[in-house]
């Protein structure tokens, strides 16, 4: 296969934004998913190819000759324990043989419930839920592989253009723009760190460019933490009308989860929404600067994207 400077596994919002950032810097980039087709348009210089990330041999054929490989792929949320380890193991095995750098877009589940204490990179991974355990074990696997240059960037609950399946995705923004009640999780008056998807992608690309970042875990930059209600208020200012919100607590999530597999999986993570959830990124800011997008600007861009691509 022809040489490619950068390979991105995963065609979800994070993978596509990583590819866009790379292409915007004039770099060669290919996005890999199972079908070789995308649900969102990407700039023409981004190649899209079909590939099975579970197969190390196939990953090697795709990645040989590349400089950096971005692991932004994930199986459906309800299938993480069954399918995520195999997917990550396949990418790791192929990248190891190809000799590329591996940049992993992780989340914060591995830390588990910190009882409201701020999340820092120094925290041990003590998750007790199955999704948190899976995330923690994969990060440990990647960092323990001595023959692969690995760096991990972790983001919080994210939102932004292309993001539809998240706590602050279509169930909130589409409803708000339609004048309908918008669903949110937990106590909306508690501080909660949200990650803007473009900041997450930009941070992963930046981490890939610095050898001294390798072998470490970094929290990507986030705008200052505010409450979910404050964020809703910003959205109201942009759309020019109030938003009726429906905040769903743990007991209701558990009840609805009997009938809804996705909500059944959310129950495990409700500690995020029932106590302060504050993510620090001091290590990143001291090394690379704090280049996070202010929430007001991020919300404006998100609303514009929803109006153009979803509200049609």
The per-residue pLDDT for range 9-53, each reduced to its tens digit, is: 999 999 999 999 999 999 999 999 999 988 787 878 899 999 999
Per-domain residue ranges of the chain: 6-157+194-219, 160-193+224-277+293-307
For residue 183, give Cα distances in angstroms to 72, 158, 173, 200, 246: 27, 16, 9, 24, 5
Mean pLDDT of 66-83: 96
Mean pLDDT of 280-308: 97
What's 291's DSSP letter? -
Q: Quote the pLDDT of residue 1.
A: 39
- pTM (2 decimals)? 0.96
Q: Is the pLDDT of residue 3 over 60?
A: no
Mean pLDDT of 263-287: 95
Provide the H-helix boundaries in the chain: 13-24, 56-63, 80-98, 130-144, 170-178, 197-208, 228-239, 250-257, 261-266, 282-288, 295-309
What's 166's DSSP letter? S
Burial class (CB in 10 A: 0-12, 13-18, 19+), 155: buried
Neighbouring C-beta atoms of residue 195, cutoff 10 Å: 31
Token pair belonging to 196? 């803007």
Q: Quote the pLDDT of residue 312.
A: 66
Q: Quote the pLDDT of residue 4.
A: 65
- What is the share, in percent, of the chain residues with pLDDT greater than 70? 98
For residue 251, give Cα distances in angstroms to 183, 255, 270, 272, 308: 15, 6, 10, 14, 36
Taking domain 160-193+224-277+293-307, whether its CATH number is 3.90.25.10 is answered by yes
Taking every pair of C-alpha atoms in the chain, what is the biggest distance, in angstroms?
A: 55
Taking domain 6-157+194-219, whether its CATH number is 3.40.350.10 is answered by no
What's 312's DSSP letter? -
CA 111, chain centre distance (Å): 16
- Name the pLDDT band for 185 (thresholds 50, 70, 90): very high
Assign 60 to helix, strand or coil.
helix
State how far the Cα of 116 lies from the Cα of 108, in Å rounded to an integer: 14
What's the chain's average pLDDT? 95
Q: Is the pLDDT of residue 158 over 70?
A: yes
**CA distance from start to end of the chain:** 39
Q: Is the pLDDT of residue 147 over 50?
A: yes
Mean pLDDT of 235-257: 90
Q: Quote the pLDDT of residue 215.
A: 97
List the single range of 91-95, 252-256, 277-281 with lowest mean pLDDT: 252-256
DSSP-derived pairing of the beta strands 149-154 and 226-227 = unpaired
């Amino acid at each position: 296969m022809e040489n490619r400077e950068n390979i991105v596994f995963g065609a979800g919002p994070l993978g596509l934004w990583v590819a866009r950032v790379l292409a915007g810097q004039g770099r060669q980039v290919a996005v890999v998913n199972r079908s070789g087709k995308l649900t969102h348009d990407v700039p023409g210089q981004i190649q899209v190819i079909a590939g099975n990330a579970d197969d190390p041999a196939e990953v090697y054929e795709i990645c040989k000759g590349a400089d950096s490989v971005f692991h932004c792929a994930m199986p459906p949320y309800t299938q993480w324990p069954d399918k995520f380890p195999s997917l990550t193991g396949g990418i790791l095995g192929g990248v190891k043989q190809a000799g590329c750098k591996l940049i992993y877009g992780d989340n914060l589940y591995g830390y588990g419930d910190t009882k409201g204490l701020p999340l820092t990179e120094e925290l041990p991974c003590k998750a007790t839920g199955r999704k948190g355990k899976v995330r923690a074990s994969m990060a440990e696997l990647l960092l323990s592989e001595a023959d692969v240059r690995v760096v991990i960037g972790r983001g919080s609950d994210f939102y932004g253009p292309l993001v539809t399946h998240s706590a602050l995705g279509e169930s909130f923004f589409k409803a708000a723009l339609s004048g309908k009640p918008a669903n949110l999780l937990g106590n909306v008056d508690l501080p909660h760190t949200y990650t803007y998807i473009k900041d997450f992608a930009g941070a992963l690309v930046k981490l890939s460019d610095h050898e001294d970042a390798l072998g470490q875990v970094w929290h990507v930059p986030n705008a200052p933490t505010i409450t979910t209600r404050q964020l809703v208020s910003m959205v109201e200012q942009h759309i020019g009308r109030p938003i009726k919100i429906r905040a769903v607590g743990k007991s209701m999530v558990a009840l609805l989860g009997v009938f809804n597999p996705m909500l059944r999986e959310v129950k495990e993570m409700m500690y995020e929404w029932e106590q302060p959830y504050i993510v620090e990124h001091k290590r990143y800011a001291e090394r690379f600067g704090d280049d996070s997008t202010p929430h007001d600007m991020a919300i404006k861009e998100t609303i514009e994207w929803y109006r153009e691509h979803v509200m049609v």
